[in-house]
Amino acid sequence: MRRYILWTLALALTAGIIFLVLLQSASPLLYSAEYDAFTKRHANPAVLKPIGQDNADGLLPLMSDLLDTPGTVIVNLEYGDVDIARQDLEEFRQLSQSLDSLVINLDMSESEVGDFRRMNQKNLQILSELVESTARLEELNTLEIRFRDARDPASLTSITYEGESLRNQVSQLYTEYRSQEEPLVSISENLELDTTGYEESQDHFEQIVKKIGDEQENRMYTLQTQAPPDSNSFHLTISLTPREAAFHETIRMRGFLSGDEIEGQEIDIFVDTKKTGSVFTDSRGNWEYRYRVGAIAPGRHTSFSVFSNSTFSGIASFNVMRENTFLSLSEPIVTGKGLSCSGRLFSDSGPVDGVSIGLMIDGRRMSSPLTDGTGFFEAFLKPEPGDHQVWAVFSNPDVPLSESQSRAYSVNIPPSLLQEPGFFDSWENVLALVLGILVLAGAIIGAYAYIRRSRPHMPAFLRRSRTAGEDLPDTVATPDTPIQESGQNVPEPSGDDVFLAYSKAADSNIREAVHILFSSVRDEIAGMLSLKKPLSLTPREICRKCSNLPLFADLSTFVRLYESIRYGVKIPDEKERQSFIDLARAIHGSLFGGQRE
């Protein structure tokens, strides 16, 4: 029995070792700079130095190229080479992506290089919009000639108004580009970079703005002097109140439609040549539309109204102000399942609703909750165990609100398996778990099969039924137990030589005599039950293996008597000697007599 237990433990231990190896096989990386860090904001300098040396050597030349490339894009736009400017812009975008990767890999987000990177990203956005606006203005110049020759006043008016909107947009882009010159040049000079090309690009950008303004003035003059008169009898006006607004404030747009059948006519409202809504005139031809300032850049914008795609109002301009924002973050609460974060966003005019807030952990955006009507936001995060820095940021170039950032909090997430996010999100982890379960199940099945095969095979005719609740005896029966009859026609034990040897040895050495007879009985039982290595079994172990056989009572008495003579000091009398022989015959009869029934 001990062997079975040892084999089972060995198989279970082997399965456990294989399971642990499978868990590590999904990520066999033995060492990296990230693994050597106590937190995500910590790095081993001895490791990072050889890794980042080549990248650091190429950082300053890359920044120098990024200062020169905007000037190339702007010069090509100034001379009307839009296609070449697009190619230069794509090169500028690729260089910017390289800088982003270097700043992240070298962990320089909070340095002057990080500030340079943020301003460079802003320049990339400005130049992208400038290229698209300039390309559209080139198309308008072609359309102007076509519509003027076709004597199409409605289409000519439409492109003229669009040109006015694009002029305002380019002018605003120039203002933003100019605002970045001083801080970007200051950082570049501290890093000993040549800023000549970038400073010259400011003048070329100004020339583009002037050129677009002149073209738009000519376009307006053409519309007023050379466009054929409108054949319809309608006239449409527009006025704005107020002409200056901030985020989520409302501008009232009102006008008047004159002509025939003016009641219930649909008026389309456009802001920067994009349709924002429609209204209907009343019985007097008056109309009113409330425009809520939302996703629109700060600066000057144009609006106009159109009736029946042919009657245009004049252009009315309004200004969108940029407001400062104030972002607060409450101290994060560590729970058993993660991190609970909440805060509020305010502007100069009150709570800001409907905007996205970035929740950052160690510089990585983990969630983007939206603010409600009171400026409140909340989110539940699941960071990895360890020490972290948590803060909130607001940055959205599509709305007229300034960027803001909350204070940072230090939090500690205790190590817990429940807090490790996404264990089952990784297919490697799932595969390792499934393989581990299969190996463990195979080990258990193999152990069970081995134990089952190692059990002695018992013929069906030797089994006896046991009543429910009956326990197996722990000891053999007493010598006083009566001998069971073996029935009629029971054959004698094979080989009378055994009994002859017993009789001869009993006179001189009774202990050796009973051992001869016991060995014969043991061999018969071992052969019938297919016992392996019967010589290694004690008499009582053989007796227990026969506990559910009809011969158990005789065998237990036989074993008890054998032990008392073999290992004791008792000298049996003639009656006990004969009893020992009778018990052996009874056991033999139970074994072979039942087989012949």
Res 424: pLDDT:
59
Nearest CA among 518, 510, 515, 501 for reference residue 574:
510
Res 465: pLDDT:
43
Letter for the amino acid at 470? E
Tell me the average pLDDT across 96-111.
Answer: 77
Q: Which residue has the tokens 């000549």?
A: 196
Query: How many Cβ atoms from other residues are within 10 Å of residue 40's Cβ?
Result: 18
pLDDT for 6 beyond 80: no
**Same fold? 235-320, 325-419:** yes
Over residues 33-62, the pLDDT tens digits come to 444 444 444 444 444 444 444 555 678 888
> What pTM was computed for the model?
0.53
Q: 242 preceded by cis ω (within 30°)?
A: yes
Q: Give 464's pLDDT tier (boundaries 50, 70, 90).
A: very low
DSSP 122-185: HHHHHHHHHHHHHHHHHHHHHHHHHHHHTT-HHHHHHHHHHHHHHHHHHHHHHHHHHHTHHHHH
pLDDT for 400 beyond 70: yes
Mean pLDDT of the chain: 79
The CATH classification of domain 325-419, taken from the options 3.10.20.30, 3.40.50.300, 2.60.40.10, 1.10.10.10: 2.60.40.10
Over residues 269-305, the pLDDT tens digits come to 999 888 899 999 998 999 999 999 988 888 889 899 9
Res 108: pLDDT:
67
Res 100: pLDDT:
82
d(C-alpha 201, C-alpha 70), whole Å: 7
Over residues 169-202, the pLDDT tens digits come to 899 899 999 998 999 999 888 888 888 989 999 9
CATH 2.60.40.10 assigned to 235-320: yes
| For helices 59-78 and 82-105, angle between their N-to-C axes, nearest 10 degrees | 160
What is the domain partition of the chain in residue ranges? 2-26+426-454, 58-225, 235-320, 325-419, 462-596
Over residues 144-170, the pLDDT tens digits come to 888 877 777 878 888 888 888 899 889
Q: Which of 236-245, 349-358, 435-444 has the lowest mean pLDDT?
A: 435-444
